[in-house]
Every structure is written in C-alpha cells, then in structure tokens.
Homo-oligomer: A and B are copies of this chain.
Amino acid sequence: MDIFSEEYARQLDAKDPLKGFRDHFVLEDNNLVYLDGNSLGVLPRNTATYMEQVVKEEWGRGLIRSWNTGWYERPQKIAAQIALLIGAHADEVIVTDSTSVNLFKLAYTALKLQQGRKGIVSDSLNFPSDIYLLQGLAEIFGNQHDIRLAQSHDGITVSHEEIENQLGNDTALLTLSHVVFKSAFMYNMKDITSLSHQKGAMVLWDLSHSVGAVPIDLNDAHVDLAVGCTYKYLNGGPGSPAFLYVRKDLQEKLKSPIWGWFGQNNPFDFNLQYQPAPGIERFMAGTPPMLSLSMLEPSLNIFLDAGMDRLRNKSVQQANYFIQLFQHHLAPLGFSMGSPIKEDQRGSHISLRHPEGYRICQALIEPQKDSPVVIPDFRQPDNIRLGITPLYTRYHDLFRAVIKMKTIVDQHWYTAFSIKREKVT
C-alpha cells in the first residue's frame, strides 16, 4: 500500500494498540486536529466529572473540613503519581507553585550551597524565562556569577562538547531543559548529569517539555534537582501547578528562599520562628490552588495506565511517519526540519521551519474549503511547532496536518493572513 495515502494513515490507527486511550479525552470535533498538546493538553473526560465533585462536594459541602479529608495530602499524593513518570521516589517530588517560582527556589538554594563557585551554565536554546530567572538570581547574589550559555551551531541541537566547554571547576550549577522547547532537542540526561558532577556542579533539569513525553529516570541519572510543568503533556489544565524534585540526600542541605506557610514544620503551632519541614514539603510556599491542583489526578491515572514506554514507542513511530510525509510533501515546498532527525535526540514534538511559518500557522488554524482546523503553535522566527501526544494523537491527524500545510503553500492560502504577530502560547 502507498504509505502516503490517507488509507494507510487510517490503517496505522486501526492497528495502534493505544488507540483506545483517545476515548478518555474530550475530542468531539472531528474537524479539529489538535497538535498543541505540548502547550496545553486536552481535557480528560474524567476531569470534567471530577471538577464537579471537587467544587460541589469538597468545597461546596465539605467546606473547611475538606482540608482534613484529602486536601492537605493532595500535593503529595499527586506528586507520588508524577514521581512514577520521572523515576523518582514519592518523597522526592512535590506539586507546588509555577515552574518559574520552582526554578527560582531550587536554583537559589543550589547557588547558596555552592557559594564560592561563580559559574552558572545553561544553553542558548533554553526557554527564555529559565534564563531570566538565572539573571535575576545573579542580581540577588550581587552580580558575582557568570552565566555562560552553551551555543547551538545549527539552532536545533547543542553538543555535549559544547556543554563540557562551558563547565569549569568554578561552576555552581548547570541548568538545562531536558527537551528544548522549540526544536525538541533532547539531551542525554545521564551523560550530562555525570559530566556536570565530575566538575562539582549541581544539575537542575527543567522537564516541562519532557514529562509525559519521554521516559525519564532522575534517580538512575543521579539528578540533583528538577522542575516541570503539568499543563502540557500532563493535561492538568491551563496554568495547573508545577512540580519540583529534590534528591532525597540533598533535601536537608537545601532550603527554599521563600519561607512560606506550607514549607514550615508544624505550621499550626503558629510559632514565630521559621523551621523548615523535614522533607520535600520544605520547598512549598503558600496554600496550593486546590482546584487547579486536583485536576491533575484523572490525567495522571491515564498516563500510569498507558505506561511511558508504550507512549514513547508510539510517539517515535508517529514522528517517523510524520517525517516521511514531510519529506515527501513538504520539503519540496520550502519546509525544513527544525528538529533533530535522530529519534534518541528528540522529544515528542517536531518543529517545521518555513519562511512563511507565521502565516502558515494562521491558515492552519482557520477552517476553510473542507480542510480541518489544525492547531499547532508558532515559535519565532519561522517554526511551526507540532506536538505529538500519543494518548490522543492519531496517525490520521498527522496526515491531515501535512496535507493542509501542503495545500496552504501550494494554493497560497497563507497570503490571505496578516504578518502582524499576536500572542500564541
């Protein structure tokens, strides 16, 4: 059979052992091809039901009593589910605050522990606000630190040699995104962590674009610190709270700079002297946003049921299928790969580059002439970023996205759209 045919895509879906998981999500509009689950995951069916229970029963009827019948333990309970996805122990993970605030807290305490060392290493492909937070921390510490960014030579990858060149015997902290937000380049976490430890530097991984996308084993890689986002692949809903990881043996040595209510040992003693909680809870701050936080549980149950290895397997197969279609249909039209070809260097999203990338994105989102609505996202200057979320992405979705991109360029549909840029997450 012609591997470029629509029928072939449908056959791949029919044979997909994970196809049933799509039914767990609210995806009723068959005219919608959603390839932005790496920015905001789709609503799980059980979440809608569970939200009603949390709002009407737990808050509405239980009122303040619900703190003692589940709410207090929920950040730990949900963290224990996330721990299973990232190769950590339950008592090494907590759900709290945003990724920004968590990165701030952990990078601060790492720099404090490593005082005397003045180097901070990251890379030029990192998510910009991860760099902003480091710049802010450098200012807090009196501008004694030198922030060195390993450079990418192709705009897609960063070599391990480049990281090694930036690391020195004065490096306090190396912090990188495990999977890079734009190109989906994925580091070998274990190798990089080991490289960093050899120089005496601590390592903080940002898992925002890798948790729920690829298997992660923080303990196996002996990672010190990590943070991550839950509203992308983990489908926690818009702005659902983030998580952080601190390896068990480091917890007593580290302390959040934000000496908050939920990080205190025995907060209900109302003692006036701060005493950090003994475990991972010391990295919490204020009261967690319980409605947003609760919504993570139904989605995490689906992940644990599907299993990260099976999901990764499907993600790689779908990406390779997509790349075949790209090479056949899109490469001749001026599209190029903005992501690594090698699957072991790639997360679960793919960026395609095109000089008209921004207008092509707008045309994809617009329904026209029987074409589906295709939702990717756009990343400067010319990246069309497509997220493969194997719990609910179909091969047929990828097929339709490629055919629409081809048509948009072939038939100059994109010229109907403005080059003025709006916000797109």
Q: Kindly state whether residue A238 has any CB partner on chain B within 8 Å.
A: yes
Whether A267 touches B128, Cβ cut-off 8 Å, given contacts A239-B288, A424-B68, is yes
- Whole-angstrom distance between the Cβ of A148 and the nearest chain B Cβ: 13
A residues 274-291 touching B (CB-CB < 8 Å): 274, 285-291
Q: Kindly state whether residue A99 has any CB partner on chain B within 8 Å.
A: yes
- Whole-angstrom distance between the Cβ of A42 and the nearest chain B Cβ: 7
Find out whether the CB atom of B101 lies under 8 angstroms from the CB atom of A101. yes
Q: How far is the CA of A60 from the CA of B293 in the complex (A)?
A: 17
Residues on the B chain within 8 Å of A51, using CB: 51-52, 55, 291
Q: Kindly state whether residue A382 has any CB partner on chain B within 8 Å.
A: no
Q: Kindly state whether residue A67 has any CB partner on chain B within 8 Å.
A: yes
Residues on the B chain within 8 Å of A377, using CB: 64
Residues on the B chain within 8 Å of A131, using CB: 272, 274
Q: How far is the CA of A425 from the CA of B425 in the complex (A)?
A: 36
Chain B residue at smallest Cβ distance from A238: B290
A residues 232-253 touching B (CB-CB < 8 Å): 237-242
Find out whether the CB atom of A136 lies under 8 angstroms from the CB atom of B101. no
Residues on the B chain within 8 Å of A260, using CB: 98, 100-101, 104, 129, 132-133
Q: Kindly state whether residue A224 has any CB partner on chain B within 8 Å.
A: no
Residues on the B chain within 8 Å of A267, using CB: 128-129
Q: Kindly state whether residue A3 has any CB partner on chain B within 8 Å.
A: no
- What's the interface size class on A, roughly? 35 or more
B-contact bits for A178-199, CB 8 A (1 contact / 0 none): 0000000000000000000000
- Whole-angstrom distance between the Cβ of A378 and the nearest chain B Cβ: 9
> Which stretch (A33-41, A309-317, A397-405) binds chain B?
A33-41
Find out whether the CB atom of B68 lies under 8 angstroms from the CB atom of A423. yes
A residues 371-425 touching B (CB-CB < 8 Å): 375, 377, 379-380, 421-425
Q: Kindly state whether residue A264 has any CB partner on chain B within 8 Å.
A: yes
Q: Kindly state whether residue A65 has any CB partner on chain B within 8 Å.
A: yes
- Whole-angstrom distance between the Cβ of A259 and the nearest chain B Cβ: 3
Whether A136 touches B258, Cβ cut-off 8 Å, given contacts A289-B292, A292-B289, is yes
Find out whether the CB atom of B48 lies under 8 angstroms from the CB atom of A63. no
Q: How far is the CA of A139 from the CA of B258 in the complex (A)?
A: 11
Q: Kindly state whether residue A368 has any CB partner on chain B within 8 Å.
A: no
CB contact between A421 and one of B39, B72, B241, B268 (< 8 Å): that residue: B268
CB contact between A100 and one of B139, B285, B291 (< 8 Å): that residue: B285
A residues 24-67 touching B (CB-CB < 8 Å): 26, 29, 34, 36, 39-40, 42-43, 47-48, 51-52, 55-56, 58-61, 63-67
- Whole-angstrom distance between the Cβ of A283 and the nearest chain B Cβ: 12
Q: How far is the CA of A421 from the CA of B51 in the complex (A)?
A: 31
Find out whether the CB atom of B242 lies under 8 angstroms from the CB atom of A286. yes
Find out whether the CB atom of B67 lies under 8 angstroms from the CB atom of A43. no
- Whole-angstrom distance between the Cβ of A309 and the nearest chain B Cβ: 28
Residues on the B chain within 8 Å of A264, using CB: 128-129, 132
Chain B residue at smallest Cβ distance from A274: B132
Q: How far is the CA of A43 from the CA of B264 in the complex (A)?
A: 28
Residues on the B chain within 8 Å of A29, using CB: 61
* Additional 12 contacts, C-beta under 8 A, given A99-B286, A291-B295: A40-B64, A48-B52, A48-B55, A100-B258, A129-B264, A132-B259, A132-B260, A132-B274, A136-B258, A136-B274, A239-B286, A289-B293
Q: Can you give 14 contacting A-B residue pairs, CB < 8 Å? A: A36-B63, A43-B56, A43-B59, A52-B52, A55-B237, A63-B375, A67-B425, A97-B98, A128-B267, A131-B272, A135-B259, A149-B272, A268-B423, A292-B292
User: 10 shortest A-B CB distances, which residue pairs?
Assistant: A98-B286, A136-B259, A100-B260, A100-B286, A238-B290, A289-B292, A132-B274, A129-B261, A132-B259, A43-B60
